[in-house]
Amino acid sequence: MEKLEYFGATLRIALGWLFFWAFLDKLFGLGIATAHDKSWLLGNSPTTGFLSHAGGWFAGTFKALAGSSIVDWLFMLGLLFIGLSLLSGIGLKIATWSGAILALLMWLAEFPPANNPIFDEHIIYIIGFFGIYVLEPRAWSLHGWWKDTSLVQKYPWLE
């Protein structure tokens, strides 16, 4: 069982870093996926690039959302809180469901995927989120401290 705990913790941290890095890159325009002059801090939309290139069955719906300030804020807050939650091991139930829903929406924006009739990286993320949900990996996390806080004692669903 110990091996599964450390595998799950590694998966949790890897997915957490993936989402947190995406937040940082889009916020600051670190020049990896987001050019500096396209950063959110400079007034650019973090969703326009992806959503304006949506294809497939739901393209119209997702293209209509591109550049919306509400969608931008929800997307960026989602990336930030999912990433931090997975990295810290705090609030994993909410983070895994939120991450799976975000990945599903991104998958739907490109459905059907260009290189495979069903699977792309977003489906792999969803599988990873459900793996974390099932394994509840607590190694290398702040979960022990978090579960003993009065907030979590009052609202156990925050665990």
DSSP-H helix ranges across 69-141: 69-88, 92-109, 121-135
Q: Which residues contact 142 (CB under 8 A, 6 or more apart)?
A: 88, 89, 90
pLDDT for 1: 61
Number of folded domains in the chain?
Answer: 1
Instruction: Compute and round to an integer the Cα radius of gyration of the chain.
Output: 17
Domain that holds residue 87: 2-158
pLDDT for 22: 97
Query: Running along the chain, 159 residues long, what does each successive block of 10 average in pLDDT?
Result: 91 98 97 94 95 91 96 98 98 96 95 87 97 95 95 92
| Residue from 23, 44, 5 nearest 102 by CA | 23
Distance (Å, whole) CA 35 – CA 14: 23
